[in-house]
Structure 1
Amino acid sequence: MRIVGVDDGSGQVMVGSLNSDDTEVVVIAELAEFWAAPADHLTRDLRDSVRMRAHAVRLVPPVLPGARVVCIGLNYADHVAEGTFKDQELPEYPTLFARWTASLTVDGAHVPVPAGEDGLDWEGEVVAWVGATLVDATPEEALAAVVGYSAFNDITSRKAQKRTSQWIIGKNGDNSGPLGPMVPAGEVGDLRNGLTVQTRVNGTIVQHGSTAQMIYGVGETLAHISELLTLNPGDLLATGTPSGVGYARTPPWLLHPGDVVEVEIDRLGTLTTHVVDNTHRLA
């Protein structure tokens, strides 16, 4: 099952299941209704549900407007070792930053290179979707609350990111958060068992890692966050990227208009993004 958002032009976003050849979406529920009880909706019998032709609607992330998107900045030791923080000890707690939901988009999206940037950088990773309210949760409770996972590309404007110690502005460019369909957690399994994360630029492999290498686990990180703020159904956790990012290469390798990026993750599929010039922001 692959869960997507659907905008049919009526002003209401629906959540549906995209079929295997991307031609049809079976409607499950309205967006807020879905996130009120996501686990229940994922087990519904959809045989009598409304079907929409995918080409006749606009696919959107099935994300609530008020959802929080929390991201782990440094979660693979080989990625830490290749970058700016290579000479520092690993912190006890994960480095977290935020994305706004407005930065999220879907498979096939066009991502503009902002003015003033030499290019964009790729970061292929897995996103976990929270499916239940979490307050002071244990790691086990938090992991059990994850309702699904998606492929994600945390596309970064490195100049903006590195101007200050706060990363948010460089992580929230227009369309800079392509997000694949959500696959139910039961179909994915435990990330600690290892899903292969591979990123390709114009067909060349630039990242190849395993989620088994993550420093901070999904359950542990969500539990830590839940000590400070209440996590709600529909919130997201981006789990970090393995080594191979562009800025850390010699010479640096950044994305330019015309480049195509693919993030392929076991059981989650392939997420494709097209890099375009800044004029597309005005389109």
Structure 2
Amino acid sequence: MRIVGVRRPHVGSGVEVAALAEPDNEVTVIASLADFWADPAGHLSRPPTGPTLATTLIEQVPPVLPDARVICIGLNYQQHAAEGSYRDQELPPYPTLFARWTQSLTVDGAEVPVPANEEGLDWEGEVVAWVGAPLIDASPEVALASVIGYSTFNDLTARKAQKRTSQWTLGKNADRSGPVGPIVPAAEVGDLRQGLRLQTRVNGETVQDAYTDQMLYTVGETLSLISHTLSLRPGDLLATGTPAGVGYARKPPRLLQPGDTVEVEVERLGVLRNAVVGNDRRSVGRVTPETIARHKS
């Protein structure tokens, strides 16, 4: 099962959560966004009973609550840490954590604009874990068991903005810079410690190729750490970090330009594909079936 967020523009029902059918031309509504995250495990345990709609009738959006926390791990793969700020340094005992706003997220097939003051965007293929139960002072085992599903993610980064200040917030929240794929239930994915292959491609060329068992800080450990400071709720997200191969660390540096297509593929999660466009497209954010078809062709 693959779970997406949808909006029916002519119905006014708000954001709903739906199951995406093969070959991506229909969705079956599961529940409203709020109702789904009130009991995600229950909704995923039974077949969806809502209307089945052609994707031509809906707008695809992230299935994210407006007040969800999007917490990200930086430097979670040894080789990526070595190509960046921890070159020749010992890694810290705890993960580097930063946050995204939900407004920075978008979906498979969406166009991602390069901000006017950037020379391009950098790719960061990742996996996102979705929290499905409240977590307060949770053990790593309880925290991992709370994960309801996983998605492919691209933490596209505006490097100039990221390095302009001591905090990463600006560079990690450019418009539509966080494409997230459909949620695949955790029961279908298994444990990331089993080593799922993660690849990023730019215009068909593989630029990142790693396995999720190479993570330095596991999902359970990181969610447990977070839960001892702030309470996590169903619908919160943890982006688990990117492996080596990002653009800024290359010699010479390489960044995504308008006209490029970037893909992140994770074993059992599928392919996340997005086109990079110019700053003049920043105000154009709606994802239509025509947009998705154009960038998958």
TM-score bracket for this pair, using the shorter chain length: over 0.9
Superposition deviation, residue 116 in structure 1: 1.2
CA distance in 2, matches of 1:104, 1:190: 25
CA distance in 1, matches of 2:214, 2:121: 25
Superposition deviation, residue 76 in structure 1: 0.1
Superposition deviation, residue 268 in structure 1: 0.3
Equivalent residue of 2:144, what SS?
Answer: helix
- The runs of at least 4 consecutive aligned structure 1 residues that moved more than 2 Å come to none
* Structure 2 contact 122–256 (Cα < 8 Å) conserved: yes
Correspondence for 2:150: 149
Correspondence for 1:25: 27
Superposition deviation, residue 281 in structure 1: 1.3
Aligned pair count? 282
Equivalent residue of 2:112, what SS?
Answer: strand
CA distance in 1, matches of 2:180, 2:89: 31
- Aligned with 1:45 (options 39, 44, 47): 47
Letter of the 1:4 partner, please give it.
Answer: V
Correspondence for 1:271: 272
Superposition deviation, residue 195 in structure 1: 0.5
Query: After superposition, where does 1:1-283 map in structure 2 within 5 Å?
Result: 1-9=1-9, 10-46=12-48, 48-283=49-284
Letter of the 2:283 partner, please give it.
Answer: L
CA RMSD of aligned residues (A): 0.8
Correspondence for 2:290: none
CA distance in 2, matches of 1:152, 1:55: 24
Superposition deviation, residue 164 in structure 1: 1.9
CA distance in 2, matches of 1:279, 1:11: 31
Correspondence for 2:292: none
In structure 1, stretches of 5+ residues that fail to align are none
Equivalent residue of 1:282, what SS?
Answer: coil
Letter of the 2:123 partner, please give it.
Answer: W
After superposition, the C-alpha distances for 1:225-277 in whole angstroms (9 at most, x for unaligned) are 00000000000000000000000000001000000000000000000010000
* Structure 2 contact 132–233 (Cα < 8 Å) conserved: yes
CA distance in 1, matches of 2:220, 2:235: 16
* Structure 2 contact 111–276 (Cα < 8 Å) conserved: yes
Superposition deviation, residue 56 in structure 1: 1.2
Equivalent residue of 2:76, what SS?
Answer: coil
CA distance in 1, matches of 2:197, 2:276: 24
CA distance in 2, matches of 1:143, 1:263: 24
Letter of the 1:88 partner, please give it.
Answer: Q
In structure 2, stretches of 5+ residues that fail to align are 285-297
Equivalent residue of 1:192, what SS?
Answer: helix
CA distance in 2, matches of 1:282, 1:107: 18
Superposition deviation, residue 20 in structure 1: 1.8
CA distance in 1, matches of 2:211, 2:113: 29
Letter of the 1:74 partner, please give it.
Answer: L
* Structure 2 contact 31–50 (Cα < 8 Å) conserved: no
Superposition deviation, residue 67 in structure 1: 0.1
Letter of the 1:8 partner, please give it.
Answer: R
CA distance in 2, matches of 1:65, 1:262: 26
Superposition deviation, residue 11 in structure 1: 4.7
Equivalent residue of 1:34, what SS?
Answer: helix
Equivalent residue of 1:80, what SS?
Answer: helix
* Structure 2 contact 119–255 (Cα < 8 Å) conserved: yes
Equivalent residue of 1:6, what SS?
Answer: strand
Equivalent residue of 1:75, what SS?
Answer: coil
The normalised TM-score by structure 1 is 0.98
* Structure 2 contact 73–96 (Cα < 8 Å) conserved: yes
